[in-house]
Structure 1
């Protein structure tokens, strides 16, 4: 049913228990940088990681600094990793955590808790779990998003590049998944698996094209060569910004010409089991400031940690963590991003 290679499947549990720092760490960019002279007027985009209720029975707690950061953005873009349904259809799998599901109420409460205004939010539905509750669950998810007033991307029914206003700019969002957990025909007819922009006029009239791919292998801090090659192909097609998902751990940033690539932002809300090893609890918010012509003026990865508190999670900036865990997290981030962030 799925399209994962056997080696991928066999490595899932070992890498979940011990996320890997193995791979090629060369050629990546700093955690933050100013690329052009700061514009007099800017548009701010914030990209968050995967969102799920798997590790949460109720809405998260959120540090005020994280909520303020998200509130500062003109647009927030993330990945909705779970179908939004009132009653799971895959009952056993949902209880075990292999099949994802969250209620409309949970999603609404979670967004309120972290300070994301629904009218600023765009969520991708292009991920491997989107048909975990069947075709009916997918259709229910689309209707739930409409009721909540949340815009979505990454469905097969829409064109590859969808246009959204962010201040005076027009942003083109292009979402797709490399992976599926369901039959190819059923899945690909509903969820976008197209990894190229198609005709060049698909992005006509757009100030900046942002790709939101669900790609790579999970629980690896460095992207595989195939993923980096795909990033170069997207850059060659005119994509100026890439914010990836699916790895469930933070991955580095790369600059390919004028294209900025954040390979993996980790989870925004826990998508794996509630008792998860600490490296998988590190997430990141990518904040990008744009000039009036859509050029990336500056970017910064803002790492945080999802701490377990009973039946939910607390989102805490790294600098606000206790000394013991903070040292471990900072060491891991240094291994991923290398040199300190530019100022």
Structure 2
């Protein structure tokens, strides 16, 4: 049913229990930079968040004010809808065990409100391996529920490989796709974008977009440094006009890289926990990528500045509490800062 290599399947549990810092650590970029100074007179801010799920939450999360303010400052927030939105799961046992994802429309609405994310300023990708966890009916119900909530979606076959979204004076193109699936190929092929090769996108699909962003569900889970194949795909996307890449699926924070003029954030981690409530702590570090894009004449679509902001998901009863790293205390703060230094070469990722 799934398309994971055997070596991937065998490594899943060990890496879940102990996320890996192994891999090629060369060639990465700072977690923040100003590219246009003085800043453009007109800009739009994009905020990319990681996977959104209800697996680790029974009620809406709590979000520290700094995180709410950061997300509220964005003109558009982009994330990955890792759980089908259904009222009654069809995969009952799997949902209880956490292997099959599901969240209600009410939970999603309350979670977004708690995080300060306006639905009209939100775009969610449905291109991920869990989107058919509740079957075809669950997928179709998810599309309907998100439309009812006023949330735009990307990453489905009906929307096409690139969706253009107006953001203030700019038009941003989004190409969302998944390399992984948990269901049979035919079910995915008819509904979910798995087209990660820009050479196979329609030639004029990005016409009219000031900036083209890829939102890939890629790489192997619980590894802080992307695999060589993932970095090669990033280069391929950059070579075909993609100017910004914000990835998901690894469930841990990964580094940032410049490939020519293309900014790549390989993995943002989870925004809301997609695994067990008591997930090992490195997997509870998430991040938000804030990107300011110029709307000035002659610089339309150019990245003016960016910053990756790290946070921690703490357990609070039946839900999670999202806390900036600088607000953590004691031994946990030391561990989290040490892990981030290992990933980002000692740089600060404060919200």
Q: TM-score scaled to structure 2, two decimals?
A: 0.96
Q: Deviations over 1:58-77 (max 9, x none)?
A: 00000011000000000000
Task: Give matches, 1:79-158, under 5 Å.
Answer: 79-158=80-159
Shift of the alpha carbon at 1:42? Answer: 1.2
Q: Is the 8 A contact 1:30 1:339 kept in 2?
A: no
The 2-side partners of 1:168 and 1:58 are apart by 37
Q: Does 1:290 align with 2:293?
A: yes
Q: Deviations over 1:277-329 (max 9, x none)?
A: 00000000000001110100111000000001111000000001113211111
Q: Does 1:193 align with 2:194?
A: yes
The aligned residue for residue 221 of structure 2 is 218
Q: Does 1:36 align with 2:36?
A: yes
Shift of the alpha carbon at 1:200? Answer: 2.7
RMSD: 1.1
Q: Deviations over 1:70-99 (max 9, x none)?
A: 000000000000000000000010001000
How many pairs are equivalent?
343
The 1-side partners of 2:349 and 2:23 are apart by 24
The correspondence for 1:247, drawn from 250, 257, 268, is: 250
The aligned residue for residue 159 of structure 1 is 160
The 2-side partners of 1:333 and 1:34 are apart by 21
Q: Is the 8 A contact 1:126 1:153 kept in 2?
A: yes
Q: Does 1:336 align with 2:339?
A: no
Task: Give matches, 1:63-82, under 5 Å.
Answer: 63-82=64-83
The 2-side partners of 1:130 and 1:97 are apart by 14
Runs of 4+ aligned residues of structure 1 deviating over 6 Å after TM superposition are none
Q: TM-score scaled to structure 1, two decimals?
A: 0.99
Q: Does 1:259 align with 2:266?
A: no
The 2-side partners of 1:224 and 1:342 are apart by 23
Q: Deviations over 1:32-64 (max 9, x none)?
A: 111222212211000000000000000000001
Q: Is the 8 A contact 2:308 2:349 kept in 1?
A: no
The aligned residue for residue 16 of structure 2 is 16
The 2-side partners of 1:256 and 1:272 are apart by 32
Q: Is the 8 A contact 1:33 1:341 kept in 2?
A: no
SS of corresponding position for 2:204 = helix
The unaligned stretches of length 5 or more in structure 2 are none
The 2-side partners of 1:214 and 1:176 are apart by 6
The aligned residue for residue 277 of structure 1 is 280
The aligned residue for residue 312 of structure 2 is 305
253-262 vs 35-44, which moves further: 35-44
